[in-house]
Amino acid sequence: MLFNALRAFSIALICSFALSAPASVAQAGIVPASRADRAEARDIFKQLIEINTTDTPQGSVTAGTEAMEKRFLDAGFPREDVNLLGPDPRKQNLVVRLRASAPSSQKPVLFLCHVDVVQALRSDWHTDPFQFIEKGGYFYGRGTQDMKDSDAALVATFLRLHREGYKPKRDLILALTADEEGGKFNGPQWLLEHHRELVDAAYVINPDSGGVELDHNRPVVADVEATEKVYADFQVTATNPGGHSSRPRPDNAIYELVTALGKLQAFTFPFEMNPITRTYFENLAKQETGQMADDIHAILATPPDQGAAARLSVEPSFNSNFRTTCVPTRLSGGHANNALPQTAQANINCRIFPGHSPEEIRRQLIGVIGNTKLSVRYVSDAGQVSETAPDRKAIVAPEPI
Ligand SMILES: [Zn+2]
C-alpha cells in the first residue's frame, strides 16, 4: 500500500486529520493552479531531481539552490529578499522572503526544506537516480519523496503567489537548506547561529514529513507531525586477545558479538502511546475495517491489548510508532582469515520514543546484551564515539490542536 510505503520513511509521530471529501478549493475562494502553473511545478521538480545534491564529491547543494535562486530573481523577487548563503561553497542555502502587504508586527511563517539527498548508486537502481522519469503514474528519481517534491511545490507556490500579487498578512519565508541527510551542520543550524534574522519566525512548517495521503488519487488523510523520535547510533564492541586460528580459544569476539545481537533480536521495547499517537490511531480506526480496526481499538483500551499490539507491530510503520526501536545496521570483525578476531563490532541504530534519552537506551542495551565484556558506546552524528550518550529527549508531544 502506498500509504504505508510512505509512512515507513517517516520516523515522525504523526497526527492525522481525515478529509471527508475531496477538498473543494473553489469553495475556499482559492483559484486552482492553471495548466501553466502545473507545468512550471513539474519543470522545477525535474530540474531539482536531475541536479545531484548528495554529500559526495559529485554532489552540490549549491547547484540546486543556485538554480532556484535564478528562478526567483528572473520572476522579479527583489535581490534583498533572495539570499544564497552558507559557510561551504558546495552547500549554499537559499532563503527567500515573500513580504507582507505592510510591515507586520506578526512574526513570519517559515517553510523549512532541505535540498540535499542521500547518496544513490546507479547499480542499486532500475533507472538513473538523477534522471527524472514518470512511469505508470509514479515519479522515479532520488529525492522524489525526500524531499524535492515538497521543495518544488513550495518554490512553485512562492513564484505563483508573487506572480499573482498575493500579499500575506505576515512575511512568508522559504528556506532551502543543506545537510539534513548528512554533513556538518551547514544548514538550519548555521542559519540560526549566523543569520537568525533571515529565518526568525513564529511558526515553522517542515514539509519533510506528513502531507496528504492519496487513495487512487482521492485525498483521504492529511498528516501533520507533532514531534520526532530521537536518532541515536551505538557501537557494540567485543574484544579478545586473539591468536592463531589453528589453536582456537574458548572465547571469541565474533561469537560474543553474534550472541549479543541474537539477544537484541529477541528483545522488543515496550509498547507506548502519547497524546499524538493516540489521536492518530483513534482516527485511523475510523478508516480501517475488520481485524485491523478491532486491533486498533484494542490497543487504545486501558490497559492496551498486548496481543493486538504484537499483531499490528508486524507492519513496520505501526511498530515504529509504538515504541523505541534498535536494529543492527553495520557489522565488522576480524583482520585475517587465519587469525582469531581481536575485535568484532556492530552499529546499532535506535529511534527513541519521546520521553527517553539516548543514555537511557544505551543502559537498556547493556542490560539486554547482558555481557559486561562488551562495550556499548554512543556514536554522534558527526561520527565521534563516546562512553556515554546525551540526556536530550524529544519534546513531549503536545495535545493536538
Ligand atoms: Zn528529508
Torsion (CA) 156, 153, 137, 64 in degrees, nearest 10: 80
Q: If you measure from the C-alpha of residue 147 to the centroid of ligand 1, how many angstroms do you get, rounded to a whole number?
A: 5
Q: If you measure from the C-alpha of residue 281 to the centroid of ligand 1, how many angstroms do you get, rounded to a whole number?
A: 24
Q: If you measure from the C-alpha of residue 145 to the centroid of ligand 1, how many angstroms do you get, rounded to a whole number?
A: 8
Q: If you measure from the C-alpha of residue 388 to the centroid of ligand 1, how many angstroms do you get, rounded to a whole number?
A: 28
Residue 104 has pLDDT above 50, yes or no: yes
3-state SS, residue 378 = strand
pLDDT tens column, 142-194: 999 999 999 999 999 999 999 999 999 999 999 999 999 887 889 999 999 99
Q: If you measure from the C-alpha of residue 37 to the centroid of ligand 1, how many angstroms do you get, rounded to a whole number?
A: 25
What pLDDT is attached to residue 1? 24
Question: What gap in Å lies between CA 180 and CA 62, rounded to an integer?
Answer: 14
> Angle at which helices 275-287 and 290-300 pack, to 10 degrees?
150
pLDDT tens column, 257-292: 999 999 999 999 999 999 889 988 998 999 899 999
Q: If you measure from the C-alpha of residue 14 to the centroid of ligand 1, how many angstroms do you get, rounded to a whole number?
A: 15
Q: If you measure from the C-alpha of residue 101 to the centroid of ligand 1, how many angstroms do you get, rounded to a whole number?
A: 32
What pLDDT is attached to residue 226? 78
Instruction: List Cα–Cα distances, 268 to 102, 209, 337, 355, in angstroms.
Output: 55, 26, 35, 17
Distance of CA 4 to the CA centre of its chain: 15
Q: If you measure from the C-alpha of residue 68 to the centroid of ligand 1, how many angstroms do you get, rounded to a whole number?
A: 18
Q: If you measure from the C-alpha of residue 114 to the centroid of ligand 1, how many angstroms do you get, rounded to a whole number?
A: 7
Residue 246 has pLDDT above 90, yes or no: yes
Q: If you measure from the C-alpha of residue 192 to the centroid of ligand 1, how many angstroms do you get, rounded to a whole number?
A: 19
Question: What gap in Å lies between CA 377 and CA 116, rounded to an integer?
Answer: 29
Contact 197, 95 (CB under 8 A): no
Q: If you measure from the C-alpha of residue 49 to the centroid of ligand 1, how many angstroms do you get, rounded to a whole number?
A: 14
Phi then psi for residue 231, to 5 deg, are -85, 135
Cβ atoms within 10 Å, residue 149: 19
Q: If you measure from the C-alpha of residue 80 to the centroid of ligand 1, how many angstroms do you get, rounded to a whole number?
A: 28
Question: What gap in Å lies between CA 112 and CA 278, rounded to an integer?
Answer: 27
Greater confidence (9 vs 140) lies with 140
Residue (of 330, 138, 352, 124) closest to 232 by Cα position: 352
- β-strands 138-140, 133-135: how paired? antiparallel
Q: If you measure from the C-alpha of residue 9 to the centroid of ligand 1, how many angstroms do you get, rounded to a whole number?
A: 9
pLDDT tens column, 43-65: 999 999 999 999 999 999 999 99
pLDDT tens column, 296-337: 999 999 999 999 999 999 999 999 999 999 999 999 999 999
Strands (E), 22-132: 82-85, 93-98, 109-114
pLDDT tens column, 70-89: 999 999 999 999 999 999 99
3-state SS, residue 338 = coil
Q: If you measure from the C-alpha of residue 208 to the centroid of ligand 1, how many angstroms do you get, rounded to a whole number?
A: 5
What pLDDT is attached to residue 6? 29
What confidence tier does 33 reach under pLDDT thresholds 50, 70, 90? Answer: confident
DSSP state of 110: E
What mean pLDDT is predicted for residues 92-111? Answer: 94
